[in-house]
Amino acid sequence: MILGADVGGTFTDLVLVDGDSITTAKVPTTEVQSDGIAAGAETIAAGTPIDLFIHGTTVATNTLLEGKGARTALITDKGFEDVIEIARQDRPSLYDSYHDRPEPLVSRVDRIGVDQALVPDLAGEVEAVAVAFVNGHEEPDRERAVLAGLREGGFRGPVSLSSVVAPEFREFERTSTTVLNAYLTPSSAHYLALLDATLVTSGLVGHMSVMRSSGGLISASDAATLPASILLSGPAGGVIATASFAGAHGHCRVVSFDMGGTSTDVCRIDEGVFDISYQRTIGGYECRLPSAGIHTVGAGGGSIAWIDAGGSLRVGPQSAGAEPGPACYGKGGSEATVSDANVVLGRIAPDANLGGSVSVDLSLAVAAVEPLAETLGLSVEETAVGIVAIAEDVMVGAIRKVSIEEGTDPRGAYLYAFGGAGGLHATSLARTLGMAGVVIPPHGGVFSALGLLLAPPRSDVAQSVFVTGTDLTPIETVARTLKAAASKALSNAGHDVDRTELVVDVRYLGQSHEIGVPFALGDSSHDVAARFHAAHGRRNGFTRFGDPVEIVTVRCTALGTPSLVIGDLPETPVRGEAPLATRTVWGRTGHTEAVVVNRNDLGAGAVITGPTIVEEDQATTFVGERETGVVAPDGSIEVTW
Instruction: Write down all domains in the chain, each with its CATH number in brackets.
Output: 2-63+188-230 (3.30.420.40), 70-179 (no CATH), 458-561 (3.30.1490), 581-640 (no CATH)
Distance CA 368, CA 362 (A): 10
In this predicted structure, what is the pLDDT of residue 290?
94
Number of other residues whose CB lies within 10 A of the CB of residue 396: 18
Distance CA 562, CA 335 (A): 43
Distance CA 87, CA 85 (A): 5
Distances (CA, A) of 464 to 507, 549, 611: 13, 15, 55
In this predicted structure, what is the pLDDT of residue 123?
65
Distance CA 438, CA 637 (A): 8
pLDDT of 577 higher than 70: no
Pairing state between β 2-7 and 50-56? parallel
Pairing state between β 607-609 and 612-615? unpaired
Torsion of CA 104, 108, 109, 114, to 10 degrees: 110
Average model confidence (pLDDT) for the chain? 92
In this predicted structure, what is the pLDDT of residue 324?
87
- 435-469 pLDDT per residue, tens: 999 999 999 989 999 999 999 999 999 999 999 98
Give the residue, 578 or 234, on which the prediction is more confident: 234
pLDDT of 506 higher than 90: yes
- pTM, whole model, 2 decimals? 0.90
Asked if 321 and 302 count as a contact pair (C-beta separation under 8 A), the reply is yes
Cis peptide bond prior to 317, omega within 30° of 0: yes
Cis peptide bond prior to 611, omega within 30° of 0: yes
Pairing state between β 72-77 and 21-28? unpaired
| Amino acid in the structure at residue 544 | R
In this predicted structure, what is the pLDDT of residue 391?
95
Distance CA 409, CA 499 (A): 31
Q: Which of 24-38, 449-463, 506-520 has the lowest mean pLDDT?
A: 24-38
In this predicted structure, what is the pLDDT of residue 237?
93
Buried b (16+ CB within 10 A) or exposed e, 361-392: bbebbbbbbeebbeeeebebbebbbbbbebbb
In this predicted structure, what is the pLDDT of residue 316?
86
Pairing state between β 253-259 and 414-418? parallel
Asked if 40 and 5 count as a contact pair (C-beta separation under 8 A), the reply is yes
- 315-335 pLDDT per residue, tens: 988 888 777 889 999 989 999
Buried b (16+ CB within 10 A) or exposed e, 447-472: bbbbbbbbbbbbbbbbbbbebeeeeb
In this predicted structure, what is the pLDDT of residue 296?
87
- 174-183 pLDDT per residue, tens: 999 999 999 9
Distance CA 242, CA 149 (A): 47
- 397-427 pLDDT per residue, tens: 999 999 998 888 999 999 999 988 899 999 9
pLDDT of 355 higher than 70: no
- 93-151 pLDDT per residue, tens: 778 777 778 899 999 999 999 987 677 777 678 999 999 999 999 999 999 999 999 99
Share of residues in the chain with pLDDT > 70 (%): 99
Residue 50 three-state SS: strand
Distance CA 472, CA 483 (A): 16
Long-range contacts of 33-38 (CB under 8 A, 24+ apart): 33/7, 33/57, 33/58, 33/59, 33/191, 33/195, 34/191, 34/194, 34/195, 34/198, 36/7, 36/12, 37/5, 37/7, 37/12, 37/195, 37/198, 37/199, 38/198, 38/199, 38/204
In this predicted structure, what is the pLDDT of residue 578?
67
Beta bridge partners of 23: 16
pLDDT band at 489 (very low <50, low <70, confident <90, very high): very high
Residues 6+ away with beta carbon under 8 Å from 45: 1, 3, 16, 204
In this predicted structure, what is the pLDDT of residue 579?
67
Share of residues in the chain with pLDDT > 90 (%): 72
pLDDT band at 389 (very low <50, low <70, confident <90, very high): very high
pLDDT band at 356 (very low <50, low <70, confident <90, very high): low
In this predicted structure, what is the pLDDT of residue 94?
77
Distances (CA, A) of 403 to 270, 312, 464, 533: 11, 29, 29, 19
Distance CA 490, CA 543 (A): 38
Distance CA 78, CA 117 (A): 11
In this predicted structure, what is the pLDDT of residue 573?
73
Distance CA 154, CA 305 (A): 52
Beta-strand runs (E) in 141-215: 159-161, 205-211
Torsion of CA 122, 123, 124, 127, to 10 degrees: -70
Distances (CA, A) of 185 to 193, 435, 460, 626: 12, 42, 19, 52
Asked if 209 and 237 count as a contact pair (C-beta separation under 8 A), the reply is no
Distance CA 387, CA 304 (A): 9
